[in-house]
Amino acid sequence: MSKATPPIVRAIDVGYGNTKYTTSQRNIDSDAQVGLFPSLAPRATQSDFTGGLMSKADRIVVAVDGESYAVGADALAESKGIYKREVAAAYSTTRIYRALFLGALQKMRLQAVDYMVVGLPLTTYDRYADELKGLLTGVHEVPNPIKPDQNLKVDVRRVKVFPQPSGAFYNYAVPRKLLESMQYQTNLVIDPGFGTLDWFVTEGARPLTGRCSATPKSVWAVISAVAEHIAPDLTLNPRTMQRIDNALRMNAPLYINGRQVDITPMRPIVTRIVEDAISEMLLSIGNISDIDNILITGGGAHLFADYVKKELGKSHSQIHTDADPVYSNVRGFQYAGEFWAARDASNRAAA
């Protein structure tokens, strides 16, 4: 890394539902390009049943502790009809998490990353942040994107772990040039992810930790409750759960066992979980009269936004829903990483 070459900064957000990553940065490419794939990592097979007649699957095989895992957009094709998603407190310590991280790292097509930013839910941040930093720092091997029969070594030189909702704050404030004006304001980020609903209260960019927390009453809880209402064994089938998620997200028709299922009668189930989650959040935060800005983000924003606007909108006028909530945290991590790199450069110049 020379003075003429800006450091490489990247971000990865391994969620319970999707793994998001950046493949560019603003000071080199003028924007942070992003991508994602499902957070599924079944044990890999090398078989090709297509006879070469079908399009090549978008998945790679990565090795973690001697075990092979399939990751990528088409990794679900490797799984059986039963696949248990990881929605556990120690998720970031699992082989599946590391396999998903390697899958995102391979998408970047780099031999070295100078600054890597990742995130953890608020429920696990204090306990696992340091351990995750140690796991991810160093040299990793991934399939070479140019020569698939060879491995590529990628040196991840520095890692910083952020609470996931902080990414959404940076993603909202930085492009709008609001960091300075918001530094004396109190801000609430509501981040319904796949596994947890996180709430993050800040004064400027500084977390007010006593008012930050999370609950498992989020997307997985919602689609699991709907699935169990239809039939108790559906939660074990990842494709069926994906159909239920899509039906709630996009009002898509839901087909189970070859028959269309009307989810309209199940909407009260969704509403009850959302109400319980927001009530838990408000109990944790306390009086919200000092909150200046409320930002709704995350992959589950479609489930929570209307209720939050209806209930909190009775007293608050500054409620914003992220336009691209799925990528909000990873874009914010990228911005934070670029600030981190710039600060290091400034400190070196002043030394």
Q: Are 241 and 234 in contact (CB under 8 A)?
A: yes
Q: Residue 51 has what pLDDT?
A: 43
Q: Residue 49 has what pLDDT?
A: 39
Written as six digits, the tokens of 228 are 């169990």
Q: Which of these, 9, 10, 16, lies nearest to 298 by C-alpha position?
A: 16
Rounded Cα distance between 83 and 86, Å, is 10
Q: Residue 46 has what pLDDT?
A: 59
Q: Residue 56 has what pLDDT?
A: 59
Q: Residue 52 has what pLDDT?
A: 44
Task: Domains for the chain: give ranges and CATH numbers.
Answer: 9-166+328-350 (3.30.420.40)
User: In 10 A of CB 188, how many CB atoms?
Assistant: 28
Please report the DSSP string for 280-336 in residue order. Answer: HHHHHH---TT--EEEE-STTHHHHHHHHHHHHTTT-S-EEE-SSGGGHHHHHHHHH
Mean pLDDT of successive 10-residue segments in the chain (351 residues)? Answer: 77 95 83 90 65 60 94 78 62 95 97 97 91 98 89 97 92 89 93 93 92 94 96 89 93 94 94 98 96 95 95 91 93 95 89 75
Q: Which of these, 351, 166, 130, lies nearest to 343 by C-alpha position?
A: 351
Q: Residue 48 has what pLDDT?
A: 43
Q: Residue 53 has what pLDDT?
A: 39
Residue given tokens 């899958």 in the structure block: 103
Residue given tokens 């509403």 in the structure block: 271
Q: Residue 87 has what pLDDT?
A: 60
User: In 10 A of CB 240, how many CB atoms?
Assistant: 21
Longest Cα pair distance anywhere in the chain, in angstroms? 69
